[in-house]
Amino acid sequence: MKNNIFLIGTHWGDEGKGKVVDVLSENANACIRFQGGHNAGHTLVINDKKFILHLIPSGILRDNVKSVVGNGVVVSLDALITEITELEENGISLSNKLFISENCHLILPTHIALDQARERKLGKKSIGTTGRGIGPSYEDKISRKGIRLLDLKNETIFLKKLDSLMEYHNFILENYFKTKCIDTNSVARELLEKYHKISKYIIDTDEYINDLCKQGGVVFEGAQGTMLDVDHGTFPYVTSSNTTLSGVVSGTGANMSLIKYGLGITKAYSTRVGHGPFPSELHNDIGQKIGKIGGEIGATTGRTRRCGWLDLKVLKKSIRLNNLSGIALTKIDVLDNFDEISICVDYGSINYETFEVENLKFIKLPGWNESTVGITKYDDLPKNAKAYIEAIENLADISVDIISTGPARNEIIQKINIFDA
Ligand code: IMP
């Protein structure tokens, strides 16, 4: 039986997970999202056509792969329908391929309004959220007020729940944030209408997911990254879900004993979008050069990403927290034209007011000044590129099993087949 695999970003998200899932999905039976919502953005380049998926697992682009949105994901019906429509317009069929958990919590227009109003009020201390209502939706889930997809099955129950939740949201919007209320009746009408368009995809997913795992070849696709985990990340500058290993289990109901291999997705350098501490950030020309070559602009919000050298301390934490078996090192080609490349190997405490960091330590390695774009065999990499990869392996005590050498599907080195590892 093929291994079931989970895949998690090792830093602050945007590590290139979408491309890796897309490549792995060629040999997968299913791809499953377990947390987050349409704050994620996975960019895929297939036959020169760019797809940005926010909510639907990246495996959807393959004919024989089932795509499941697990119960841990928060769902905006607007975002879901936009994505379904774009896929269908590109000739990608979703029937008998897309399954969405009835336990997913909804993102309401008031969640979005609350997210944005809160960010405005925080001013300079804002989190830098995607403004998509993710935090407020998870808050309502944890405080047991939230509305799940299954609630939309029964119109009377749904309207009652929506009325009471929106009354509460509107009270806060009007009286605390001094901003406009949102009309409950029009939200109710729109949600019911949209629900009917997607209800055929909604099922009770936990049994289905465990059955898929028994057949093997399942890829659990994380969104965001380890340092954005609400428990283990750079709190409060985090997202509102468990982006780490525990999210795989709570967000799908999968039996962990059926999942054999954990793949960390690590970018060859580090980036962060939104506010918060970023110890290895480069506030200089080198940081700008990395961002420019790497096209480091957010797929979801279009924001410029902050860039820095690879943060090894975070990588080690991520390996520990997620019990990773190996890593996929992405965007190595972005470092092709640097005379010297650094790795941030350690630092002391972080000041959460100023984001200053004590005792930053770097090691320097020579660059390779040669193109790695499109290389598919490890031995064909320049000597110094191999030395960089091997330094990461030695320092973090993990094997780099996959190396991505460009944005397209075929620009990849797979040192081993992780479905058999
Ligand atoms: P939220 O998830 O919209 O609440 O945003 C919380 C933090 O997570 C902000 O710093 C966002 O920039 C960051 N974030 C959310 N989703 C992503 C992602 O997919 N990639 C990178 N950062 C993200």
What local confidence, expressed as pLDDT, does residue 252 receive? 98
Mutate to test the pocket of ligand 1, among 8, 15, 39, 132 (most ligand atoms within 8 A of CB): 39
For strands 310-311 and 340-346, give the pairing.
parallel
Residue 200 reports pLDDT greater than 90: yes
Q: Both tokens of residue 89?
A: 């317009």
Going by C-beta distance under 8 Å and a sequence separation of 6 or more, which residues neighbour residue 65? 25, 28, 29, 30, 31, 59, 97
Separation in Å, CA 378 to CA 328, 334, 401: 13, 17, 10
What local confidence, expressed as pLDDT, does residue 82 receive? 94
Query: Taking residues 319-336, what's their average pLDDT?
Result: 98
What local confidence, expressed as pLDDT, does residue 90 receive? 87
Which of 23-32, 35-44, 337-346, 397-406 is the least confident region? 35-44
The gap from C-alpha 415 to its chain's centroid, in whole angstroms, comes to 24
Q: Both tokens of residue 119?
A: 């960010």
Query: Taking residues 333-358, what's their average pLDDT?
Result: 96
Q: How far away, in angstroms, is 132 Cα from ligand 1 center?
A: 10
- Identify whether the C-beta of residue 79 lies closer than 8 Å to the C-beta of residue 99: no
Confidence band (pLDDT; 50, 70, 90) for 202? very high
Per-residue pLDDT of 10-36, as tens digits, reads 999 999 998 999 999 999 999 999 999
What is the rounded distance in angstroms from the CA atom of residue 103 to the CA atom of residue 203? 9
What local confidence, expressed as pLDDT, does residue 303 receive? 86
Confidence band (pLDDT; 50, 70, 90) for 146? very high
Q: Say how many Å lie between the first and final Cα of the chain, rounded.
A: 11
Q: Whose CA is nearest to atom 1 of ligand 1?
A: 129
Element (H, E) at 363: strand 361-366
Q: How far away, in angstroms, is 277 Cα from ligand 1 center?
A: 14
Percent of the chain exceeding pLDDT 70 equals: 100
Residue 149 reports pLDDT greater than 80: yes
What local confidence, expressed as pLDDT, does residue 93 receive? 87
Atom of ligand 1 nearest to the CA of 241: 2
What is the rounded distance in angstroms from the CA atom of residue 50 to the CA atom of residue 286? 28
Query: Taking residues 153-157, what's their average pLDDT?
Result: 95
Q: How far away, in angstroms, is 10 Cα from ligand 1 center?
A: 14
Query: Taking residues 302-308, what's their average pLDDT?
Result: 92
What is the rounded distance in angstroms from the CA atom of residue 102 to the CA atom of residue 120? 33
- Identify whether the C-beta of residue 23 lies closer than 8 Å to the C-beta of residue 236: no
Q: Whose CA is nearest to atom 9 of ligand 1?
A: 129
Query: Taking residues 190-218, what's their average pLDDT?
Result: 96
Active site amino acids: 14, 42
Q: How far away, in angstroms, is 244 Cα from ligand 1 center?
A: 14
pTM of the model: 0.95
What is the rounded distance in angstroms from the CA atom of residue 172 to the CA atom of residue 255? 40
What local confidence, expressed as pLDDT, does residue 385 receive? 98
Query: Taking residues 259-284, what's their average pLDDT?
Result: 96
What local confidence, expressed as pLDDT, does residue 406 receive? 95
Atom of ligand 1 nearest to the CA of 300: 19
Query: Taking residues 159-170, what's their average pLDDT?
Result: 98
- In the three-class reduction of DSSP (H, G, I as helix; E, B as strand; rest coil), residue 337 is classed as coil
Residue 101 reports pLDDT greater than 80: yes
Going by C-beta distance under 8 Å and a sequence separation of 6 or more, which residues neighbour residue 205? 68, 69, 70, 71, 99, 100, 101, 102, 103, 252, 253
Residue 301 reports pLDDT greater than 90: no
Confidence band (pLDDT; 50, 70, 90) for 298? confident
Mutate to test the pocket of ligand 1, among 58, 237, 239 (most ligand atoms within 8 A of CB): 239
* DSSP-assigned states of every residue in 147-181: -BGGGGGSHHHHHHHHHHHHHHHHHIIIIIS----
Average pLDDT, the chain: 95
**DSSP count for the chain of H helices, then E strands:** 11, 19
> Residues enclosing ligand 1, CB less than 6 A?
12-14, 39-41, 127-130, 132, 134-135, 223-224, 228, 237, 239-240, 273-274, 300
What local confidence, expressed as pLDDT, does residue 91 receive? 87
Q: How far away, in angstroms, is 238 Cα from ligand 1 center?
A: 7
Mutate to test the pocket of ligand 1, among 139, 273, 275, 306 (most ligand atoms within 8 A of CB): 273
Confidence band (pLDDT; 50, 70, 90) for 334? very high
Query: Of 380 and 93, which is predicted with more confidence?
Result: 380
- Identify whether the C-beta of residue 226 lies closer than 8 Å to the C-beta of residue 9: yes
Single out the residue of 52, 117, 137 nearest to residue 87, CA to CA.
Answer: 52
Query: Of 211 and 49, which is predicted with more confidence?
Result: 211
Atom of ligand 1 nearest to the CA of 14: 20
Per-residue pLDDT of 76-87, as tens digits, reads 999 999 999 999
Per-residue pLDDT of 40-52, as tens digits, reads 887 777 777 787 8
Query: Taking residues 80-100, what's their average pLDDT?
Result: 92
Please report the sign of the dihedral spanned by the C-alpha atoms of residue 389, residue 390, residue 394, residue 397: positive
Q: Both tokens of residue 94?
A: 């979703």
What is the rounded distance in angstroms from the CA atom of residue 363 to the CA atom of residue 30? 40
